[in-house]
Amino acid sequence: MNLMDIGKLPNEILNSLVLNKLQNNRKEVIVRPSIGEDCGAVDFGREICVISTDPITGTENQIGTIAVNVALNDIASSGAEPIGLMVTMLIPPEASLSSVENIVNQLAEEAKKTNVDIIGGHTEVTDAVNRFVLSITAIGKTINRTVVRTSDAKPGDDLILTKYAGLEGTSILAYDYEKELTDKFGKEIVENAKSLIQDISVIKEGLIAAKFGAHAMHDVTEGGVLGAVWEMCHASGCGAKVYKNEIPVLKETKLICEHFDLDPLKLISSGCMLIA
């Protein structure tokens, strides 16, 4: 048996074991799976529907809040308006009803804030997991039948990053290691870091960028800013010049990353959008 590292499948394995085995069976599917693409797209004639799916497996703190925004951010990266969510919740046997209720409250609150409906899903208690796992499928519709693809960046484009690098990762670390970080940096720094979870939606900037003719967009998640740049370059067949010192990083992110010996530019970064 081959042992694999935790995290996304490496791109070469993803290509050989997954993407290369998928067939193009329907002409209505106009954006298909590939490295770096955030969404698939289906042309229904009058409307183009974009669809994306994401699991949240790395944290339980604020898992409902994170799950909704991560899924909807993919829709936003296509320049589309989010409409609805399908939620699968896998519940460990030892979980309490209050924990389930808390997660559902987070899901409902974020759906209301982002003006989408939770239109269905599945809930199950299973010993296949030892902590909560959420998987969300998000659905949206394009504006003026235009789909923005990660793969449409062009030579000569400027690369623009919204907000700050590492927002999501900073907040997750602050929740997961609250006492350790409070002892090191004090309550104010940690509370500021935790509050960054409220800034991880990129719906607004996605719709604005699409309106003004962005060639390509990519939601910055695993792999951080540098990973997102690589994925956009790979998908588009272009290179990029990155000015590392000009990428904005918050004080809280710098301190927490230094403490854990992490690179802020490789930290999971929902909340910032890469735009070409």
| Domains identified in the chain and CATH numbers | 24-142 (3.30.1330.10), 150-275 (3.90.650.10)
CA nearest neighbour of 275 among 156, 159, 107, 152: 159
- Answer whether residue 172 shows pLDDT above 50: yes
Task: Give the pLDDT score at 3.
Answer: 66
Cβ atoms 80, 140 nearer than 8 A: yes
Query: How large is the average pLDDT for residues 183-205?
Result: 95
Task: Give the pLDDT score at 153.
Answer: 95
Place of tokens 């808390």: 102
With residue 122 as reference, give the H or E element that holds it. strand 117-125
Size of the chain, expressed as the number of residues it contains: 276
Q: What is the pTM of this model?
A: 0.88
pLDDT digits (tens, 9 = 90+) for 50-81: 999 999 886 778 999 999 999 999 999 999 99
Query: How large is the average pLDDT for residues 112-123?
Result: 97
- Answer whether residue 1 shows pLDDT above 60: no
